[in-house]
Amino acid sequence: MIVKAPIDLELTQLSGQTSQPPWNRVGESFRQVIPVDGKPVIFDVRQSGESLDFSFSGDVSKSQALSRLKYIFDLDFDLDGFYRYLNDHAELAEMSEFCKGLRLFLAPDPFECVISSICSANNSIKRWTKSICDMKEKWGCEHQGYYMFPQSSVLANAYLDDEDEFNSSKIEDICMCRNNLMECGVGYRAPYMRRASEMFTLEMDLFEIQKMSYDEAFETILEVPGVGPKVADCILLYGFNFREAFPSDVWIKRIVSHLYFEGKDISVSKVRDFGMEEFGDMAGYVQLYMFHYARRSGLMAKLKK
C-alpha cells in the first residue's frame, strides 16, 4: 500500500537518532520485525516518490500495522507546516532545503532506545548501531531471520565481559567466551546497561514514563546509570515522543551559539533551556534539523575551526 506522507526514508533512518539502528536493507526495501500488540510482524518499507510503499506479514490487522508504521516514522506530523515554521524564523530558514523529508524515527520499543542512547554517548553512529544489532542477535527473539531487541529481564542477566562469563558458566576456555556485553563493543558502558536493565526489570515501570510530565520524566530517566541530560533528552524524544526535548551537546551548543548568540561561549545547559523555551513543541524537530543542516551545509566544518 502507498502511504502518502512526504519522507526521505533513507535520511530518516541514517540520521543517527538513538531510537534504534537502521532497518535491514533488502534490495530497495528496509525490513524489520516490529512488535505490534505483542505480536512479531515483519515490516517492509520502500521509497515511492516522496511517500512510502508499505507491506507487512503477521497476525495483525492492516489498521494495526499501519498505525504502528505511522508512529515509528511520525507520518502524521505536518512536515510542510514545519517547513513554514522554519521559514518564518530567519536563523532556521535554510534548514528545510538541506534536510527535506527528514522525520523523527521513533522507537518501537522504548527499552531499546534507553540502551541505544546509553550506547551512543561518546560514540560514533556506526559503532553504537553495530553494538545494538549485536545485542539483538545474541539475546533477542528471532522471527523469520530478523531479531527484536531483548527484554530488560534478559539483559539484566547478561554477562558483562569474558571474565564474568568464564567464571559464571561451564566454558573451559576463556577465549571461547562470546556471549557477553563487552563482546558487543560497548566498552565502559556495559555495567551501565546491565544496571539499567535491572532497574527497568525490578524498580521502574518503563511505560509509566509516558504518563509523566516532561520534567518528571526527565528527572526519572536521570536516575538511570550512564544517563546524563543529553542522553535523557534523546531517550525522551526518540523513545517516548516528548516533542519539547532539545538534546544538547557541544555540537548543538556551537550551532545555537553561531545562529543566535554571535558565537559567544554559552553552557550546554543554557542551550538546552533556550531550545526548549524558544521552540516549544517543535524543539525536538528543530534540534534534529539543526544538526543535519550543520553537517550538510558545511557549517559544522566551519565551527570545527
Name residue 290's beta-bridge partners: none
Is 270 tagged catalytic? no
Look at residues 38, 106, 33, 107 and name the one whose alpha carbon lies nearest to residue 76: 106
β-strand 142-143 against 39-48: which pairing, if any? unpaired
What is 270-303 written as a DSSP string? HHHHHHHHHHGGGHHHHHHHHHHHHHHHSHHHHH
Phi-psi region of 298 (alpha: psi -120 to 50; beta: other; left: phi over 0): left
Phi first, then psi: what are they for 48, rounded to 5°?
-135, 90
Neighbours of 157 (CB within 10 A): 13
Q: Active site residue: 100, 126, 211, 230, which one? A: 230
41 contacts 56 by C-beta, under 8 angstroms: yes
Gap between the Cα atoms of 197 and 186, Å rounded:
15
β-strand 29-36 against 39-48: which pairing, if any? antiparallel
What is 110-150 written as a DSSP string? HHHHHHHHHHHTTS-HHHHHHHHHHHHHHHSPEETTEEPPP
Catalytic residues: 230
